[in-house]
A and B are shown apart, each in its own frame.
Chain A
């Protein structure tokens, strides 16, 4: 049911772990629905120099988090918030229809981390990043 790319990222997740001195941390999803993604970013000169994740969830939740960290690492912060769930799905060679939800969480977790980064710098993230949808599945 999963593509080779999904299984590869699930089996060998990239950038798994925490950044203790992160400049931004975002968490989306909830335990009730069965997936939580937590993203840590390190920002230098407006560029995401490091990104790590911790995820509780199914195979595609782990794979989408893993690939999302790769897709934003080394990118300017304004590019990172443009990361769409579609791009995540494409990079993984597709996801089963009922797993698209995971790619949305990956997109939102990056946005949540960036929002936290702005907030810590006294900048209102809402006009820049937009609203974070914690869990579009159950509306929590």
Chain B
């Protein structure tokens, strides 16, 4: 059922937004902001999650959210105090709701009784309150019927309307109901109050609905209608007595018809037929048709009454007579009389309000667009950029001199294309806030677990970055912050002893620097313990015993695979994986990580990220006459070196010594089984860094330069090739393959071990 799937997709989409909002609201609440706006927003978020969940029959989710909502309702109106304990409980509850939503989304089962403990606590906090706590949950057992009924509304409506409602008061052949009292016969007395009309309820509709229960006969009770002079235009004078003949109707089903007007009318439901007060029917029946017409057309008696002689007491019949001409003259719909007076005074206010509304409208205008659509636009703009640069390259000097207008046109095109590219990229950009907002919570948890006092500062959270990159940022940032809290910030005692403030600070900042986004995680802790890092590195063989390293090199060691300095595996960051995961994640999205540490003062880790993933900064090289591109992010340096510098290993591989370090050599030409004509003694070497800081020296024939390219997938267009990350189309229309340094390295290693 695709419609239902669509709704579910909308729902889960909405849930993730609401969950994010919960995080934000609780971050502020934790800071001490307990304004009712926040509490209401929290309540609404949970309420919406519950509401949608109920529609799809997510029982566990709804049950939990309901208990949580009840608590929030109590908190909102002050029946339960929002103590630290309750706040912590709520934050935990948010997680549980998120888990329920996640489980509902991928159809998995949570362990039985998940969240029961918290739910129990909610109930305990809200118990003794009959209001919501006692509210039965049964109603949520109603399964949403996933079948979307196709009710032809108009038809349905017509059927009801055409059904000859035996509104006996319109009928000359009015028959008194039989005086028999038997099962299936009901008498209903219905006298509306003024409120019933004020709430736009309509007796005719109620009678119509009553008619669906069985055969009805309706008699209007008109005794109350006063003389014309006493007639209040909005007074309620009419009531009805209905006789219902139905095999199936019960008192409950009859009462249900009047459910919306309960308390706004006098309602009497009794079994059997009441003896009809024949006396009341005499003269009035004569007058009824015109009165009924009057009611049906909703003509205001007041408007009509102007024609009637004033100051004279009139019988109802006379009133009816006097109304007849007025009825004919009156337009079918008269404006409600109250309308004239009130708006005149309100007019100015009305105007103000309207302009206010317009301001608001101008302020926030946004539309929702499917990300796929934007991706397509981004891709097409990429193509356009390439075509444009191809055109520009085709213009040689002779053409330039001959077609000046064309040249000017191309220049304008180049400018517009760049503008277009920027605008399109900004569509997909999102503020880093979406990731940053999850961090205060993490820091809080870490502080509790480590027993340290830690404050998180965030700077530049409105810095925008491509959505696809943002999605990849959460894990690395989490890891970095864990690392700072666990290894960076010292215990309060240690900090006091070092003359620092008792509480540590972790600062999370984002800024744009040229074509990059810099995200830094900084702490004012003890800095990297270089002695220990080096010791561990030597123990684990990451660094040779004699190798001398600069401070900076030692700092970078924390990104080495499997490296962890925690003396004992802690609950927090020591999970067997170290900061190398951060590095590889960031590399995957074309970024780099840099760490700087000051002993006793703190550590700063900086992520340098590209603004977008669609366009890649590359170095264009040539191998055996074909162009290849190498991502700039994986290049350390380019060098020229003589053949003599390459040493052949016994295994057949080659190594190159670069600044005292032996680096594995990959000759692109032979790697891709091509023969190169270049026999120069000096070879160009691009020194690349693969995952985990392992270097690879790639031999190429020529280095052409740097440029930006749009990545095309090889898997989608051809097939996956080891050592090649994808393809791209260059300005001159040639296809260049993108070298995958990581793939090159592992492929060579595999090749070696096979040999």
A binds B: no
A residues apposed to B, CB below 8 Å: none
